[in-house]
Structure 1
Amino acid sequence: MALRTLIRHLHYMWASFILKVHVILDSVVKTAGPLYILLALSLLSCIIYLYYTAVLPAVHQLNSVEGITHLILSIWLIYNVFFNYYWCIQTDPGSPPLDFDVGAGMSQYESGAPISQMRWCKRCRKPKPPMTHHCHICKRCILKMDHHCPWMHNCIGFYNYRYFLVFLLYLWTGCIYTVYMASIPLFGTASQEQTTDKVNGVLFTFVLSLAVFGSLSCLLGWHIYLVLTSQTTIDFYSNRQRRKEARRSGQVWVNEFDVGKIQNLRNVLDSKGDRLWWLKIWLPLRILPRGDGIHFPSRYGSSDTGAGGNQSSRHISAPNSYSSGAASSSREAVSIERVLADGEDNWRPANMV
């Protein structure tokens, strides 16, 4: 008995220690946010300065047609990088509204899902829409939260995820462009003789851009995969666990928010259903995402954000609420599981067919 009490006491002390470490780390990340932004701006400014003072003059004469063309192209890339970076930092990712309630208006959905299936945040003490998670750094629930980014000093969520994705795309493209331009005087023929300082500047630009390009390739590829499969980084790990549990029970788990790769991409990048929505990626535009961050299109049929309707509703439906009665019951076997990926009391049904 004494040994069990000692073990229980040690376990409690260890859990308390881990909790304190998490609190300290969260505070450090939040406090260091402006320093991360300053570091990011310093790296970008360093590459830009070296490009215009060492790389571009080594490849083309600045008063030539080629030089002016590359000057315009580089300015366009730089402007888009800083434009999306700024608005990703400045845009609030969004939180569930204060009057958000699941108790009223449930009859409008033909799911028959009980309230016990709703996801609940024990810290904010209110229900959470699908893909909403509590950020331990921001101390609030974030709509469609992907992660807390220290480089942005902000959460990446529903309202600023498009800026984050486009920022990565332009920064990745800019790195490819800079690596290519710097490789010409290093491995090819330069337009004029270079001093040692300029050669070192070109070499440093090449190495730094190549390193950033390698890191961004992994990060951008990961987020493109998440967009095409209609997931967030947090939900990916939760969905993977559900998929494993379904496989063990002889069933197949299905992500109901995955409505096809092209449509998933449009749900992130296209806000108004324009036919030429993909052209807006190439322009520095402030665009709000489609929907309200509470309701999402479902592969079983939806009449909310995907179609532009019911956007004023403040009531959350269970993830199976978009299914039509008989078809839903015949295609899904619903099981309740506790999701601990974000350390919350987080109840949500897993879709299995």
Structure 2
Amino acid sequence: MEINLFKLCSGLRVLGYFMILLVAGIIGISYYAVVFLTCGPQLLRGGFHSFLSFAIVIIFHVLLILLLWSYFRVVFKDPGSVPENWRAVSAEENLGVGSSLAAVDDGFERRSRGGYCIHCQNGKPPRCHHCSVCQRCVLKMDHHCVWVVNCVGARNYKFFLLFLLYTFLETTMDTVVLLPSFINFFADAKNHSSTPSNLALVFLAFVLNLAFALSLLCFLVMHASLLSSNTTSVEVHEKKGTVRWKYDLGRKMNFEQVFGTKKSLWFFPLFSQDDLHNIPALGGLDFPTRSDVEA
């Protein structure tokens, strides 16, 4: 009996739903430990510590809102699907028959060459890859993330990066806030100054937040490097064999290919209509390339 490994991979989607519950649980534990057990008593005492705790609670909630907003945008936003019967277009057809490959867009050419997916039996745009978990081709696929039960691709990569950023900031702040309680954990347990359940929650929240903050820092550094060179996780191997990466347009343009040009929306999981209309890369089907690199 033949076993279809690609079908087995689709079972990972079930794991993703447990990950969503895990995220909700971690947020719940952290919220209770930081807001109610740590900052709450300080707010009741008054004075400078009360003011500091109030500021922490405000920042905590702002980061939490931005974190959840970005998270749900990654979960529910389609990363980009290939239109039915899409076909690859040559550079000559794209720029016009008989025209030279003249550089456009400040010295960069716009090409729409692609390939063919044997699994989907459909055309495959450039930078598009087939996801074994989702069982479909994803535009400018970066990776399939079990934490969001979705692929990260052209149309939700910005939301994913913001989710990483705000989660890192939130967990780092939680770790700093809970550090004194963690240091005094054994003394509080010996003196019975708090209930065992509250002590256990504070201890667990500190360990979880510290672990996530450290791991997210590594992910942020990695994706910052990928963003600066306009590379996806699945393109890293392909890029190693090249002298110049054809999609590397310079740090400023690389950043705008993901976050758009409207600065007021850079830190929000949103795009302006102008950017969606004027930056084809955000759609995932067409990407400008360096004019000094062969396609």
TM-score interval, normalised by the smaller of the two chains? 0.7 to 0.9
Distance 1:49 1:281, change over 3 A: farther
Q: How far does residue 256 in structure 1 lie from its aligned partner after superposition?
A: 1.2
What amino acid sits opposite 1:195 in the alignment? Answer: S
Structure 2 residue aligned with 1:57, among 8, 24, 40? 40
Cα shift readout 1:163-215 (whole Å, capped 9, x = no counterpart):
11100000000011011111134448xxxx95153444332221111011111
Shift of residue 54, structure 1, vs aligned partner? 1.8
The answer as to whether partners of 2:265 and 2:271 remain within 8 angstroms in 1 is no
CA offsets 1:207-251 (integer angstroms, 9 cap, x no match): 1110111111112221111111101111112222x24xxxxxxxx
Q: Give the counterpart letter for 1:69 in structure 2.
A: A
- In structure 1, the residue matched to 2:257 is 267
The question of whether the paired residues in 1 share the 8 Å contact of 2:141 and 2:232 is answered with yes
Stretch deviating more after TM superposition (128-137 or 51-60): 51-60
Cα shift readout 1:282-338 (whole Å, capped 9, x = no counterpart): 4x44326642211122232xxxxxxxxxxxxxxxxxxxxxxxxxxx5xxx5x5xxxx
Contact residue 228 and residue 264 of structure 1 kept, 8 A: yes
What are the residue-to-residue correspondences of 1:30-45 with 2, within 5 Å?
30-45=13-28
- How far apart are the structure 1 equivalents of 2:176 and 2:41? 13
Q: Do the aligned partners of residues 224 and 264 (structure 1) sit closer, same or farther apart at CA in structure 2, a change above 3 Å counting?
A: same
Matched positions, count = 263
* CA–CA distance in structure 2, aligned partners of residues 62 and 157 of structure 1: 48
User: Which of residues 69, 80, 83 in structure 2 aligns to 1:83?
Assistant: 69
Equivalent of residue 86 in structure 2, options 100, 105, 109:
100
| 1:249-288 residue CA offsets vs partner (Å, 9 max, x unmatched) | xxxx211111112321222112xx23xx1x4344x44326
Shift of 1:21: 4.0
SS at match of 2:123: strand
155-164 vs 122-131, greater mean Cα deviation: 122-131
Aligned counterpart, 1:73: 59
Matched residues in 2 for 1:259 and 1:205: separation? Answer: 42
Within a 5 Å distance, the mapping from 1:177-256 to structure 2 comes to 177-187=173-183, 194-197=193-196, 198-240=198-240, 242-243=241-242, 253-256=243-246
Deviation at 1:102, TM superposition (A): 2.8
Q: Residues of 2 paired with 1:268 and 1:80: CA distance?
A: 18
Aligned counterpart for 1:295 among listed residues 253, 275, 286: 286
SS of equivalent to 2:53: helix
Question: Matched residues in 1 for 2:205 and 2:54: separation?
Answer: 20
* Letter aligned with residue 180 of structure 2: I
Let me know the Cα RMSD of the aligned residues.
2.7
| Aligned residue identity for 1:46 | I
Given that 1:30 and 1:137 are in contact with CA atoms closer than 8 Å, whether structure 2 keeps it comes out as yes
**Cα distance in 1 between the residues matched to 2:94 and 2:265:** 35
Structure 1 residues 104 and 223, CA, compared in 2 at 3 Å: closer, same or farther?
A: closer
Alignment match, 1:3: none
**Contact 2:91–2:101 (8 Å) recurs in 1:** no
Shift, 1:97, TM fit: 1.6
The structural deviation recorded for 1:59 is 5.2
CA distance in 2, matches of 1:176, 1:281: 21
**Which amino acid in structure 1 is aligned with residue 224 of structure 2?**
I
Larger Rg: 1
Which one of 148, 166, 172 corresponds to residue 152 of structure 1?
148
Q: Could you say which residue in structure 2 is the equivalent of 1:258?
A: 248
| TM-score, scaled relative to structure 2 | 0.79
CA gap 1:152/1:72 in 2 versus in 1, 3 angstroms? same
**1:166, 1:281 within 8 Å by CA — same for their partners in 2?**
no
CA distance in 2, matches of 1:125, 1:206: 49
Gaps of 5+ in 2: 103-112, 185-191
1:158 Cα deviation after fit: 0.8
Q: 1:200 & 1:32 partners in 2: Cα distance?
A: 27
With the length of structure 1 as denominator, give the TM-score of the two structures.
0.67
CA shift, 1:127, in A, is 2.5
Structure 2 SS opposite 1:297? strand
Mapped partners of 1:164, 1:265: distance in 2 = 14
CA distance in 2, matches of 1:83, 1:187: 33
